[in-house]
Structure 1
Amino acid sequence: MATSVGTTPGGTTPAGMTPAGTTPESENGAEFREHERILSPDFLSVAQITEMLAEDADGVQRKLEKFLNLKNLHTCLKEAILLDYYVSGFLWARGMDFSIIQYSKFMTLLDMLLHNLRTLHMSLEESLKWLGEVMAEIGPSYSQRNEEWNIFDIKQANAIVDYLKVSLFQHYKLYEFLFYSTREEIVIGSEQVIEVVKSVGHPFPDPLEEGMAFDIYSTFVEPPPTLDMEMKGLHQEQGSEESHPDASISETDPLVGFTIEDIKSVLGQVIDDILIGIQTEINEKLQIQEEAFNARIEKLKKA
């Protein structure tokens, strides 16, 4: 009669038989330890998950921003996308009414999928295969022996796969572009060079007086008055005082003592003299032109 066998890492062992040196209890312990390594260590601790469960959507975002140590959220597109990825996943899990351990494993699953994409450069097919293997370990099992290890039931496992399909796998190329493609860093700003005022003894010329306030110019830029300048100022003041009598004399009206008729007669004589000179000049020019025309006419007659 043929005996059925099962494949083991050490060779073939008849099914239902225990290898030498092992017991069913030791096999169960090894399988339990192997199961404990699935999705470990946890992405979020129990305390962190408990804190976020007491927050609304904005509070969850603030908590995850703190837990993930995202410092450049408002200027880095990559950090903003990662935060949205984890916040959306946590809020979706809240709608599924998960337990604390289910929250922990689900968030760790989200993180491991991104880790495989970012670090191991897994393709979409490889990520789907890896997800299937993980869900086979933490999802529903048909073996009665591992029933107590099941973290998600069939309905929850299907919901998780559907969520990952629309959240990550449907946009897998975009996440690949996020991690693999280099982006230009655009610096928004401008630089201005400001030249400060040089000292008085500097070889460069001083700033113009028109370019600054008078009090600043007179205090910091204008050289102090010298003795020669003070003496010139005194001479100018004395000269202005001596010129005051002449100015008072010159200020008298030169037309004092003349009547309007006298002024009109003087102006009439001046105008007549000017007009006579102009008329004489015009007559001379007309006479010259007349003689020139007569000479031309005589030439035409002779011709």
Structure 2
Amino acid sequence: MSAKAKQSNKSADKNANDRNDAASKDNDAEKANPQWKLINHEQINTLLDLTVEQVQLQFEVILGLKNYQTCLKEAALLDYFVSGFWWAREMNYTCQQISFIMALLQLLLDNIREKQMPFVDNLNEFAKLISGTRQSPSPEVDSLLDAEQAMSITDYLKCSLFQNYQLYEFLLNRPREELLLGKKLTQGQRTSQEEDGEGPGETGLQQEKENKATEFEGFNVQDVKDVLGDLTKEMLGDLQAEFTEKLRVQEESFSTRLDPLKQPANSYTS
């Protein structure tokens, strides 16, 4: 084989290795910061210029929700994704960050719907992903989220999905017929009470409250806050430390600016 042919083969091998390295880095970045598969960044950029009503119309098509006006499950899904997108828009996140947030919302919901993942396991999945956004895939690339953004997303998911986790489990994993049957039974009980002259009354209302409390016990607001608090300390401790350090630096900066203003007052007093 001639020297020219050998050189050509080496160049081809080098180019192939470079492509493999680039593909490997892209795969690592995708695993650390997944992007929403249903729409691309260009489509997200278009949605940012729409009103919330227009965004909802677009999401009906994107999610394939044709019966959201009559189906409770579809209505909840539409509200879940539209609210998440609009919150991210109001927070002025980039298209890449919004795509990650939407992918995160999708993953957590799929964990409930397809894997029937328990609350704590899904919470751990979220914590791992949100921690991964603080790790840059390469020295040349910034991390996807800063400390404050990661904490804001944590707070949003705490108040939206995790605080109502068992409601989503009930909604996504119960057949539609069972949901309708439960609604009909409840209406039938109320009608029977009204015919007997009882009306809802205090007894009926109290029983309804007790039933709801039993159905969703173990997932009240305080429980969610406690669990998320522990995970935040364990897995997001570095984010909190970074945020605290920023506050300390800012406080020192303010103190430095205020020192010259204090001097005349001290001189006057003496």
TMscore range, shorter length: 0.5 to 0.7
Matched residues in 2 for 1:147 and 1:136: separation?
Answer: 19
Q: CA deviation at 1:33?
A: 2.6
- 2:174 pairs, out of 170, 181, 195, with 181
Residue 123 of structure 1 is matched in structure 2 by 118
Q: 1:120 Cα shift?
A: 1.1
- Residue 156 of structure 2 is aligned to residue 170 of structure 1: no
Quote how far apart the aligned CAs of 1:30 are.
3.9
Contact persistence 2:35–2:99 (CA under 8 A):
no
RMSD over aligned Cα atoms: 2.9
SS in 1 for 2:141: helix
Which of residues 48, 60, 68 in structure 2 aligns to 1:73?
Answer: 68
5+ long unaligned stretches in structure 2 = 1-16, 185-270
Contact 2:97–2:145 (8 Å) recurs in 1: yes
Structure 1: gaps (5+ residues): 1-22, 189-303
* 1:33 alignment partner in structure 2: 27
Greater relative CO (CA pairs within 8 A, separation 6+): 2
CA drift of 1:51 comes to 2.4
**C-alpha displacement of 1:40:** 4.7
Contact 1:102/1:152 (<8 A) preserved: yes
Aligned partners of 1:59 and 1:144: how far apart in 2? Answer: 35
* Letter aligned with residue 123 of structure 1: P
Shift of 1:166: 0.3
Aligned in 2, Cα 1:130/1:184: closer, same or farther, shift over 3 Å?
closer
- The answer to whether the 8 Å contact 2:56/2:82 transfers is yes
Match of 1:150 among 140, 143, 164: 143
Which of these residues, 64, 86, 91, is aligned with residue 91 of structure 1? 86
Measured against aligned partners, the alpha-carbon deviations of 1:43-102 in whole angstroms (never above 9, x if no partner) come to 422232122111111111111111111111111000000000011101100111011111
Relative to structure 1, is the Cα distance of residues 27 and 49 closer, same or farther in structure 2, using a 3 angstrom cutoff? closer
Moved over 6 A (4+): 25-29
Q: Which residue of 1 aligns with 2:108?
A: 113
Q: How does 1:1-303 map to 2 (within 5 A)?
A: 30=24, 32-38=26-32, 39-40=34-35, 42-137=37-132, 139-141=133-135, 145-146=138-139, 148-182=141-175, 183-185=178-180
**Residues paired across the two proteins, number:** 164
Partner in structure 1 of residue 218 of structure 2 = none
Structure with bigger gyration radius: 1
1:133 Cα offset (Å)? 1.3
Whether the 8 Å CA contact 1:42–1:105 is kept in 2: the answer is no
Percent identity, aligned pairs only?
37
Tell me how far apart the structure 2 counterparts of residues 73 and 85 of structure 1 sit (CA, whole Å): 12
Whichever residue aligns with residue 116 of structure 1, its letter is N
Read off the aligned partner of 1:62 and give its amino acid letter. Answer: L
1-structure distance, mates of 2:127, 2:44: 25
- TM-score, length of structure 2 as denominator length: 0.54
Which deviates the most, 27-36 or 47-56? Answer: 27-36
Name the SS of the counterpart of 2:74 in structure 1. helix
